[in-house]
Chains A and B, each alone.
Chain A
């Protein structure tokens, strides 16, 4: 029971973090058709900036400043990079963002080195929020959940209640029509890219101390974010939300479950011994499979239902 509750809590937390990354990515992808490989790099940059700013000012200013800087950087990337590259088609865009991801990783290594930086939980959040089944749950995790939910509430309000939100929704499916009605679609693109990047940056700020802030964090999390948007369905924020939680929970549970096919077979009275063929295969624990599970879901989803759980676009 204790395991279930805590795995669920951690799974939801991981899922919310994934959604903060994937919401920006799916908005950018559905609107502009740009598969932004550098998205996770912006997430990493958010963590590093928060660490650096935090060294001078403490954690709280960094929470605001780091996403802001990353957001401005994202807007600049769209305005002076992607917009030019866009004329040469999607392959060029793909290569551009791919190059950008490598560039950011190298720059991060140049400035902060290859080893992880000591970006730790701020002392004001370093206490136990509550105790359940004799185990304490840290306050910073509760804080992460609150920040995420607050952010999504705000995003949802802007998207459904404001004029610019309606324009963004319309441009998700019909950018040409939105432009023909007189709305400056390139500027909307820049805005969305900026806000999406800022969200990635914010995810970095609050994810940085929960995970490890090192130059490989973009490479580790990046592919999983792509899995989320494919499984959730392109163009669907709700789909991305469901898929984020699903993958977050599945992966967290898998890690926590120390169980293999041998154990399963034993339940049915079948004993597998070292002498049997494929013994090594049977003996793999679910926990060992955890990192593979998202990609397994990706492949399965593409075969069974290519437009994802709630996708609205065919492509």
Chain B
């Protein structure tokens, strides 16, 4: 079986600094896969490069098609969704307007409707006419995930969705990601901490210095204290 997203020998640069040194990994249909690592090892750069926001050197294949070199909006139309770490809520637009802009074309309904979003996260229904800028951090995180889902992606890349959230909220994000995967959407979860990654992932990758340094299952990572100590624990 060939994977849905295949990244092979991916390099990326910011100006002259070489950030990614040949990253290789894959995500299969409907899988939850985590990409872990400390700050500054290139996790966010990896998904920005896949999304076309950073210029890729190497190969990125999505459903067998080479997407390295395409424009971000073209990549989005192929079915890749991106939820950035900074959440990027449109502050002046209401919750509803934020969600509407998640749709790639007006009125085109995929596997998710706005009602689904409200069911997944009832707080959004209550605040539907509130400007996105005044939501709490947790609400913004939910909104940004839901907004990307409105575009009906087949794979979403979520960058540090639990950053700065309360433990209770972290659990809810984990639950939300699970429910998304149940509908057949693959997830590439980027995290610094192990918290939800160990619980919900099928497979994990650990990054260090712009490379993949570990690949395995949650059980495998639990058993491997050496990798955790060297590449994850602070």
Contacts and interface: CB of A to CB of B under 8 A. Distances in A.
Nearest to B72: A179
Interface of B: 51, 53, 71-73, 76-77, 81-82, 84, 88, 90-93, 97, 100-102, 104, 106, 147-148, 151
Chain A interface main SS type: helix
Given A170-B93, A186-B71, A180 B101 contact: no
A169 B93 contact: yes
B104 A182 contact: yes
Interface centre among B71, B76, B90 (most CB of A within 10 A): B90
Given A167-B101, A178-B101, A184 B90 contact: no
12 contacts: A166-B100, A170-B90, A170-B93, A173-B92, A176-B88, A177-B84, A181-B148, A181-B151, A182-B77, A183-B101, A184-B73, A185-B73
Nearest to A185: B73
Contacts of A183: 73, 101, 104
Nearest to B92: A169
Interface in A154-175: 163, 166-167, 169-170, 173-174
Nearest to A171: B90
Contact of A180 (B53, B90, B92, B106): B53
Given A166-B97, A181-B147, 10 more contacts: A167-B101, A170-B90, A173-B92, A176-B88, A177-B88, A180-B81, A181-B102, A182-B73, A182-B77, A185-B72
Interface centre among A181, A182, A186 (most CB of B within 10 A): A182
A185 B77 CA distance: 13
A164 to B, nearest CB: 10
Contacts of A179: 53, 71-73, 76
A182 B76 CA distance: 5
Interface residues of A, number: 18
A185 B93 CA distance: 18
A65 B38 CA distance: 59
Contacts of B51: 180
B107 to A, nearest CB: 9
B121 to A, nearest CB: 18
Contact of A181 (B53, B71, B76, B91): B76
Contacts of A182: 73, 76-77, 104, 151
Interface centre among A167, A180, A183, A185 (most CB of B within 10 A): A180
A169 B91 CA distance: 10
A179 B140 CA distance: 19
A169 B77 CA distance: 21
B97 to A, nearest CB: 5
Contacts of B72: 176, 179-180, 185
A182 to B, nearest CB: 4
A166 to B, nearest CB: 5
Interface in A65-95: none
Contacts of B106: 163
A225 to B, nearest CB: 24
Interface string A22-51: 000000000000000000000000000000
